[in-house]
């Protein structure tokens, strides 16, 4: 009787964890508060599911807990020398998902039906979000095109965080590709149509990080295909198709063409060392210059995560006092953020943690490392670990894909 009650309790806590995952996806699109609450419930479901002692024991051996926890711990330690403790506490709070999600995933054993359900819910909300983003094209296409010529973009979900939304669409394509391999007949056609829509939408949205990750992952899949004798004859035509795709999109998608033309115009100033007011890349280059100056002044342990903004402002005032407040951005990539906040020691530790992600256990190492590279690549040109949606999506997607790949291997063995 006790064993039966134990199994029933385990089943209920498993359902609680799955419900929290679904609520997090809903919160991602509609409510930050719901996202935070659902994440807390998911975290607490782990000790309920396993018991506190077993949960801590398994967490101590979980590589994701160590890697993501250390990425969170570096800013925590920097509080010892941060002067602005209020800002420092905000940073720690925003980065909490890096600790809570891996700790909540410890011992979670989602079955095939649960993984499919969660994956399709994520794809469905992402699809609806993409449709919502396209609506202005039918309302006032001329003004949308004009905004792209000034570096603007379509409105997106995730509170208009177009970088994270474009990356989420790439994640949806990556999951659909795995589903396509496991499917047959009409389902494959539907998956191909949805994936094709996402690929076209990424070119309409024309966010560089999303497109970079998309092309990178497609190239990886084609390399894998070329290594399989049965598919080798298709590899060359598909590679040529991949090379032609951006040209076709440039000729046929006006927003993509406007974004490419704007980037070329922006870089014509940036490469000459000139500043283009409102230019995205010029601002990023100057932020890296300011970051380097701060790191030179505080090489050992940086200024602390609570004082990154004030330290950057002081340098901006010296190198270009004409910059407006909105143009005085944070360091433009994650290595610069951790360098300013924790010095060269932090840069080395953060680099080691990024390398550690490539050795994260996976049932399909090729897919796991391909997604890891696409993730780490975003940190070179963006600061996805400094915003709430980024610190949620990075561990969530990596842990979810690991579970999905494990289920794929089990299906093949069965």
pLDDT digits (tens, 9 = 90+) for 127-142: 999 999 999 888 778 8
Judge residue 150's burial from the number of C-beta atoms within 10 Å of its C-beta, 0-12 exposed, 13-18 middle, 19 or more buried.
Answer: exposed
281 lies in the same domain as 198: no
Sorting pLDDT into bands at 50, 70 and 90, what band is 223?
confident
Does one domain contain both 223 and 157?
A: yes
- Among 241, 270, 299, residue at a domain's last position: 270
Decide if pLDDT at 192 tops 50: yes
Query: What whole-number distance in Å separates Cα of residue 169 and Cα of residue 23?
Result: 19
Q: Do residues 320 and 214 share a domain?
A: no
pLDDT of residue 23: 96
Angstrom CA distances, 362 to 78, 96, 109, 359, 409, stand at: 32, 24, 15, 8, 10
Say whether both 98 and 54 belong to one domain: no
Residues 129 and 265 occupy one common structural domain: yes
At CA 173, angle to CA 156 and CA 64, rounded to 5? 95
Please tell me whether residues 123 and 240 are part of one structural domain. Answer: yes
Q: Answer yes or no: do 252 and 343 share one domain.
A: no
The percentage of the chain sitting over the pLDDT mark of 90, rounded to a whole number, equals 60
What are the b/e assignments for 31-46, b being 16+ CB within 10 Å? Answer: eeebbbebbebbbbbb
329-372, pLDDT tens digit by residue?
Answer: 788 899 999 999 999 999 999 999 999 999 887 788 889 999 99
Same-domain check for residues 283 and 389: yes
**Angle of helix 112-139 relative to helix 141-148, nearest 10 degrees?**
100
According to the model, what pLDDT value does residue 269 have?
62
Distances, alpha carbon 61 to alpha carbons 43, 46, 117, 359, 367, in Å? 17, 15, 28, 14, 23
- For the chain, give the mean pLDDT: 87
Same domain, 167 and 192: yes
211 and 305 belong to one structural domain: no
Average pLDDT, integer, range 283-292? 86
As a whole number of angstroms, the distance between CA 16 and CA 14 comes to 5
Nearest CA-CA partner of 374 in 221, 255, 248: 221
Q: Going by C-beta distance under 8 Å and a sequence separation of 6 or more, which residues neighbour residue 309?
A: 87, 330
Measured CA to CA in angstroms, residue 391 lies from 61, 69, 94, 122, 361 at distances of: 22, 12, 8, 17, 20
| Backbone φ and ψ of 185, nearest 5° | 60, -135
Lowest mean pLDDT among 23-32, 168-177, 364-373: 364-373
Rounded (5°) CA angle 201-206-207 = 115
Domain boundary among 236, 270, 304: 270
pLDDT of 8 > 50? The answer is no
398 & 307 share domain: yes
Domain match, 136 and 241 both: yes
Question: Which pLDDT does position 408 carry in this prediction?
Answer: 57
Q: What is the pLDDT of residue 89?
A: 96
Burial 293-315 (b: 16+ CB within 10 A, else e): bbbeebeebbbbbbbbbebbeeb
pLDDT at 271 over 70: no
pLDDT band at 166 (very low <50, low <70, confident <90, very high): very high
Nearest-CA neighbor of 250 among 262, 236, 232, 265?
262
Number of separate domains in the chain:
3
State the pTM of this model.
Answer: 0.91
Task: Work out the number of other CB atoms within 10 angstroms of the CB of residue 188.
Answer: 14
Q: What is the pLDDT of residue 150?
A: 75
Domain boundary among 223, 251, 270: 270
pLDDT at 2: 42
Residue 322 is predicted with a pLDDT of 74
Across 179-189, average pLDDT: 86
Above 50 in pLDDT, residue 412?
Answer: no
Give the per-residue pLDDT at 233: 76
Domain containing 35: what range? 1-61
């Amino acid at each position: 009787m006790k064993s039966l009650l134990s199994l029933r309790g385990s089943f209920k806590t498993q359902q609680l964890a799955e419900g929290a995952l679904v609520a997090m996806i809903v919160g991602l699109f509609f409510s930050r508060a719901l996202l935070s609450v659902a994440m807390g419930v998911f975290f607490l479901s782990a000790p309920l599911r396993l018991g506190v002692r077993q949960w801590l024991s398994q967490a101590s051996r979980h590589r994701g807990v160590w890697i993501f926890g250390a990425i969170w711990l570096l800013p925590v330690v920097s509080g010892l020398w941060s002067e602005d403790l209020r800002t420092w506490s905000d940073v720690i709070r925003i980065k909490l998902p890096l600790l809570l999600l891996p700790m909540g995933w410890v011992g979670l054993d989602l079955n095939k039906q649960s993984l499919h359900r969660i994956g399709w819910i994520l794809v469905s909300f992402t699809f609806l979000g993409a449709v919502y983003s396209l609506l202005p094209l039918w309302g006032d296409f001329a003004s949308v095109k004009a905004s792209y010529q000034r570096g603007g973009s379509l409105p997106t979900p995730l509170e208009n965080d177009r970088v994270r939304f474009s990356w989420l669409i790439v994640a949806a394509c990556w999951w659909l590709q795995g589903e396509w391999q496991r499917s047959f007949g009409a389902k494959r056609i539907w998956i191909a149509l949805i994936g094709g829509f996402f690929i076209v939408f990424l070119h309409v949205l024309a966010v560089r990080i999303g497109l970079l990750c998309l092309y990178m992952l497609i190239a990886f899949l084609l390399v894998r295909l070329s290594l399989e004798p049965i598919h080798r004859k298709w590899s060359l035509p598909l590679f040529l198709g991949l090379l032609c795709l951006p040209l076709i999109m440039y000729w046929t998608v006006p927003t993509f063409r406007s974004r490419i033309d704007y980037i070329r115009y922006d870089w014509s100033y940036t490469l000459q060392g000139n500043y283009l007011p409102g230019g995205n890349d010029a601002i990023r280059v100057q932020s890296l210059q300011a970051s380097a100056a701060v790191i030179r002044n505080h090489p050992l342990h940086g200024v602390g995560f609570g004082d990154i903004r004030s330290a950057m402002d002081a340098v901006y005032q010296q190198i270009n006092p004409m910059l407006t407040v909105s143009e005085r951005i944070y360091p433009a990539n994650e290595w610069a953020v951790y360098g300013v906040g924790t010095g060269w020691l932090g840069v080395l530790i953060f680099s080691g943690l990024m390398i550690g992600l490539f050795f994260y256990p996976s049932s399909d190492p090729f897919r796991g490392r391909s997604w890891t590279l696409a993730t780490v690549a975003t940190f070179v040109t963006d600061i996805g670990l400094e915003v709430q949606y980024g610190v949620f999506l990075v561990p969530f997607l990596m842990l979810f894909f690991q579970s999905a790949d494990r289920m794929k291997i089990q299906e093949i063995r069965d």
